[in-house]
Amino acid sequence: SEQVRATIERDGLLADLEAIGATVLANACGPCIGQWDRQDLDDGVPNSIVTSYNRNFPKRNDGYASTFSFVTSPETVVALSIAGKLDFDPAVDSLTSENGEEVKLSVDIGEELPTKGFDSGEEGLFKPPPSEDSEIEISIPPESERLQVLTPFAPWDGNDFENLPVLMKAKGKCTTDHISMAGSWLKYRGHLENISGNLYLGVVNSFTGEIGTGIDTTDNEIRPFPEI
């Protein structure tokens, strides 16, 4: 949050992280939903990373299925980042400084809450809408791929749909990312039709054994779910 960013900047923690090469991200969703704009290698190269994010399944950090992510504590992430290798044990191993000295990382006890309290940071980021909205005109180009004006759904006629064919039965792990991927798709989050193009693309369909496809009951052809 902006409050946390302002607080660690005031207390000098942000400068310490930047001094060891850390990159500061925006106060928003980022690597945890696959938006890391990774520059050091391409997709398809097997590699491992360590994070303190709460999700570690494929494509969650950098959008690469070839990246193996291991979740650990923030302290361990920092220690392994400084060491530059995964087999470093900060409890027993040492690092070699530029002067050739053997250095061990100390186990410091941090404060649970900042002594000076939290800094609210930059305020006034939210602009409230006008009290009267009758004269507001929302102009969206019809060719826009990012934004789309929603057309009201037709009211329910009171009749349920019955005897519908089942197109997909998820096999194995099925998370929100399997159902509706984030990452590169987020640019369409204001366009319902375009973002629907990612529907179930990561799900293994037990009927076909394939990922993201099902049997179109109109002609029995296998197609991606969004096309069906």
| pTM of the predicted protein model | 0.65
State how far the Cα of 156 lies from the Cα of 158, in Å rounded to an integer: 5
State how far the Cα of 177 lies from the Cα of 206, in Å rounded to an integer: 18
pLDDT (0 to 100) of residue 30: 64
pLDDT (0 to 100) of residue 133: 63
Domains belonging to the chain, first-starting first, are 2-103 (3.30.499.10), 140-228 (3.20.19.10)
pLDDT (0 to 100) of residue 125: 63
pLDDT tens column, 10-20: 999 999 999 98
Encode 77-134 in three state secondary structure. HHHHHHHCCCCCCCCCCCEECCCCCEECCCCCCCCCCCCCCCCCCCCCCCCCCCCCCC
State how far the Cα of 79 lies from the Cα of 77, in Å rounded to an integer: 6
Instruction: Look up residue 26 and give its amino acid.
Output: A
Q: Which residues of the chain are modeled with pLDDT < 70?
A: 29-32, 124-125, 133-134
pLDDT tens column, 74-110: 889 999 999 999 999 999 999 998 899 999 988 877 7
Residues 6+ apart with CB under 8 A from 210: 204, 222
pLDDT (0 to 100) of residue 55: 76
